[in-house]
A and B are shown apart, each in its own frame.
Chain A
Amino acid sequence: MIDFLLEIGFEEFPPALLKRTAEDLSAKVEKLLIDERIFYRSIRVIYTSRRFGALVLGLTRKQKPQIIEIQGPPKKLAFDSEDKPTKMLQGFMKANNLKLSQIFTKKIKKGEYACGKKEIAGANTDDILGKEIPEIIRGLEFPKTMVWTKGGIRFPRPVRWIVALLDRRPLRFTFAGIKADRYSSPNQHFSFTPIRLEKPREYLILLRHGGVIADPNERRRIILKRIKQAAAKIGGKPLYTEEMIEEINCTIEYPEVVTGEFENQYLDLPEEVLMAVLKVQGDLIWVKGSNKFICIFNGKKKAVQNVRKGYTRGMAAKLYDAYFYYKNDLKQGLQNMLAQTKKMMWLEDLGSLYDKATRINRLVEMFKTVPELGIDALKRSAMLCKADLLSQMVREKDFTFLQGIMGGHYAEACGEDKQVAAAIKEHYLPKFVGDTMPKTKEGSVLSVVDKIDNVVGAFLSGNRPSGSYDPFGVRRNGYAVVSVIDACSMNISLFEIIDNLLKLYNKDFDKNIISEFFIERFTRYLQDKKFRYDEINAVLATWKGDVTDARIRCEALKKLRGKPDFTKLVIGQKRVRNILKDIKKIGVVNGELLKEDAEKKLYKKGLETKSKIKELFQRRDYFKILNLLLAMRVDIDKFFDDVMVMCDDKILRNNRLALVHYINSLFSQYADLSQIVIEGENQQE
């Protein structure tokens, strides 16, 4: 049994990429070992800010031998009457280097055959790793890379050393111009002298002596322990998230801890601002309610004094600025900021930020009949929601992400209604897929109309997205619009909002282009909700713009599909579609003209179903509606079996077509079921 260590060393890696790259690398090494039939006992992911890799213990020196079977001639031709090998079998044995003892017979589909079985010796682990490991490193993928030598390889940061030690010997390969070797690098706060490794098992311990805790899980445990101890000393609760700890974990090699404090007056700042300052100043952890912070730093215990002093000064300077902005903003007030938005251009040719606010303030009037919605608060928040972009706080780049949140605080401080403040605060949500949704009704509506205005504005100013070009994040906005509407189950038509908005712009623009964009976004949204594309197509084919409604229809459809009746129904719908395809003029059904039993029955059933589902539509009980439609299936089939639609009598024919159309209209109220793909049917796209 031997061990294997792979460590790629570089200048400090982007923290957000580190963990997943290290885990990806280690998973690929593991897969390689399994695929190549190399046994190993354990594998451990390694990473710090300056290295990642994998430590594999208990490998076999060689691949497991492989036993293969080779099929030879049929038994009848392989052996003669005395059961001796024929010439043909001998030829087969010679060609495959097989002895008679390796020959056996086997029954397969085609009959009984002579087969050879032989063992292929495994290759050396050494050779396999030497060949494949550099390929694995080369195959790692990154969103952003750089070059550091002319014509050199691309990587997120310059690679500076590689350890690839199998047992006591380095593997022979070169990556990024660096030869794999046995020298690792210590924490630079401890030493610059490379660490010589005789064998992989020494790795963790020797690196620890060099000020590097290479195992990320161990490092994380130490970080959490240090935070806990420091917080206990202060006597408070440290405020942190998993992500913050991981971020810290990815920026250090050896965690030490220090605490610091800031002036009490800064506790007047909104918590979000304080948290932002702590984050910018190096992922500091706040002890909630106090003026104390905890700092995990990379280095030696001896540095505690200096580190405390430095971070405390850094905090003081940044808090000074934040407080300065905050007080000035409060002095100025939201109303004054609003006045200034008149001078701030929003998008070219589309007026100022003030114009935007005025526009959405007028647009939200269409929601005045929505129950439990404070229309006055909504209108006021629409007017004020962009004012904080003129605040000093939001104009500072470290705090720009607090847009909306600051507006909410300033609104409250200026005596605005709580509902108004909440809506302003929430209206940028969700900022990304999976982000939290606005909680209040007013905030949700404001979020939706603001984003629709962003989308429409971008289209009107010639900035519609295409390919990778989407400077205004129009796609993200569009997706957020449908997800917010769906999350708060609003009963409104997206198309109606767009219509009203275009009227307010008073510009000549083909609204179908915008509708199509939203249909595409909504399709994506429904796909992410795990609906199948044909379910989505069927529902959206007859869609009138109500997002929640369409989602519920998809759900009912999903629930019912797979029932045998449903499949037959869809086939029937496809027939109907074909029959109606080329007919231009269709009249109304005349009950008197119905002759056959089957058509009379179908008509009756149709009338009954129609009156039943009418009320169900109002209640959006789509599952029941679908079931009722499904229940028409027998009559529909009977009709097609017994009645000749395209008969010679023109009057009869037209009446029957009208009946088919009438029945079809009942379905298309719900969805275009003919879009559903039935298994085994060729997909028509």
Chain B
Amino acid sequence: MRKDNTFENIIIRLKQYWQKKGCLLFEPYNSEVGAGTFNPATFIRILDEKPWNVCYVEISKRPRDGRYAANPLRFQQFYQLQVIMKPSPSDIQRIYLESLAHLGIKFKEHEIKFVEGDWDAPTLGAWGLGWEVWLDGIEITQFTYFQQAGGIDLSVIPVEITYGLERIALVLQDVASVFDLKWNNDLTWGDVYRQNEIEFSKYNFERADPEFLISLFSKYEAEAKKVFNDGLVLPGYDYTIKCSHIFNLLEARGVISISERAKMIGRVRALANQAAELYLRKNSEKNEEESEEK
């Protein structure tokens, strides 16, 4: 195993690897998301039939998973490395496995298991079939062939590969707790994020004001609808993402009942579906104009 597998080096190596495989190197989105899938570089770009290969780190916020920095493997914010390849190459599984080898993982010395895991994101009206990839029994990646997004059946199938960077680093550095991960040679993950974990756990579980959040949710939702009506996809989708995060906060706070939960998911999904339809409609109009010009 490579000695210089610091957290930041793992990120750099994976980005370089996917750059060589033809991916555009992108950056995280600029508001809170639960997963890299929410980034328009995934959700919006996978909708049409045009080729799209991209790789970026996404900072994923999962308020419910906070443990006040007390659990070595659970935290409310972590890094994903997101790869989208559309269309999915026929040897994509091998390309992925070789990315692990590129990090210094020797297949003869580990077990890499593709464990059936059908993926769905109900707030995005998206689902796909694929696997959790386990390295020695620890989930390090989600590997998904998207089938639907924004309620739309995709015709050109993208593959989404989402690495859990902390999890991989734990194995590569052979440490048991995320807080002991070497970020670089001087600082640990704990040095960087311990206070963040403690404070956000406290905020998410105890201090977030439900009424404030519920009113934000409704306002963001109204704004999204208004903006969609003006024919603006991306600003409307931006508010959709915000709604999704507010929903996650409310859920962590434990103030929504089962049926209320289903309803709110439905409301976010309705926005995501609208964004998807609007994007495709605008795109097909654009294509028609372009072909007329020719």
Give the interface centre of A295, A303, A305, A324 by most chain B CB atoms within 10 Å: A303
- Residues in A with CB closer than 8 Å to B49 are 150
B78 CB within 8 Å of chain A: no
Q: Chain A contacts of B90 at CB under 8 A?
A: 149, 158, 160
Q: Are A314 and B137 in contact (CB under 8 A)?
A: yes
A188 in complex: contacting residue of B107, B109, B128, B257, CB < 8 Å: B107
Query: Hey, what's the 0/1 contact readout for A301-319 against B, CB within 8 Å counting as 1?
Result: 0110111011101111100
Q: Which residues of A contact B137 (CB under 8 A)?
A: 281-282, 295, 307, 310-311, 313-315
Q: Which of A8-16, A570-578, A588-596 contacts B (4 or more CB under 8 A)?
A: A8-16
A306 touches B114 (CB 8 A): no
A150 and B155 within 8 A (CB): yes
* B window 139-154: CB within 8 A of A: 145, 147
Question: Which A residues between 119 and 164 are near B, CB-CB below 8 angstroms?
Answer: 144, 146-151, 156-158, 160
CB distance from A484 to the nearest CB of B (A): 25
Q: Considering the chains assembled together, what is the distance between the CA atoms of A14 and B115 in angstroms?
A: 8
Q: Does A344 contact B (CB under 8 A)?
A: yes
Q: A299 at the A/B interface (Cβ < 8 Å)? A: yes
In whole angstroms, how far apart are the Cα atoms of A311 and B110 in the complex? 11
Q: Known contacts A303-B111, A313-B176, A317-B74; is A158 also within 8 Å of B145 by CB? A: yes
Q: Please determine whether A345 and B259 come into contact, CB atoms closer than 8 angstroms.
A: yes
Q: Which of B72, B73, B113 contacts A282 (CB 8 A)?
A: B113
Are A299 and B129 in contact, with the CB atoms below 8 A? Answer: no
Say whether A189 contacts B107, CB under 8 Å. Answer: yes
Nearest neighbor of A347 in chain B, beta-carbon distance? B259
- Least distance between A305 CB and chain B CB atoms (Å): 8
Contact check, A188 vs B156: say whether CB atoms are below 8 A apart.
no
Name the residue of chain A whose CB is nearest to the CB of B88.
A148
Partner of A311, one of B74, B136, B170: B136
**With an 8 A cutoff between CB atoms, is B87 at the interface?**
yes
Chain B residues lying within 8 Å of A112, measured Cβ to Cβ, are none
**B124 contacts the other chain (CB 8 A):** no
- Say whether B87 contacts A303, CB under 8 Å: no
Q: A158-B145, A310-B137, A311-B137 are in contact. Are A321 and B113 (CB under 8 A)?
A: no
Interface residues of A in 4-63 (CB under 8 A from B): 11-12, 14-15, 49
Known contacts A150-B156, A190-B108, A345-B257; decide if A11 and B138 are in contact (CB<8 Å).
no
Instruction: For residue B264, give the distance in angstroms from its CB to the closest CB of chain A.
Output: 13
Q: Which chain B residues in 142-195 approach chain A with CB under 8 Å?
A: 145, 147, 155-157, 170-171, 174, 176
- Say yes or no: B136 contacts A309, CB within 8 Å: yes
- Give bound CA distance, A343 to B131, whole Å: 37
Q: Which residues of B contact A344 (CB under 8 A)?
A: 257-258
Q: Are A12 and B134 in contact (CB under 8 A)?
A: no
Residues from chain A with a CB closer than 8 A to the CB of B206 are none
Q: Does A431 contact B (CB under 8 A)?
A: no
In the complex the two chains form, is A12's CB within 8 Å of B157's CB? Answer: no
Residues in chain B near residue A157, CB distance under 8 A: 129
A-B contact pairs, 5 of them (CB 8 A): A14-B116, A158-B90, A251-B113, A299-B108, A299-B112
Q: Ordered nearest first, which 7 A-B pairs have the shortest CB separation? A: A310-B136, A311-B137, A12-B114, A345-B257, A317-B73, A314-B137, A146-B129
Residues of chain A at the chain B interface (Cβ within 8 Å)? 11-12, 14-15, 49, 144, 146-151, 156-158, 160, 188-190, 192, 251, 281-282, 295, 297-300, 302-303, 305-307, 309-311, 313-317, 320-321, 324, 343-348
Q: List 5 other contacts, CB 8 Å, given A144-B118, A146-B128.
A: A148-B88, A160-B93, A300-B108, A311-B136, A314-B138
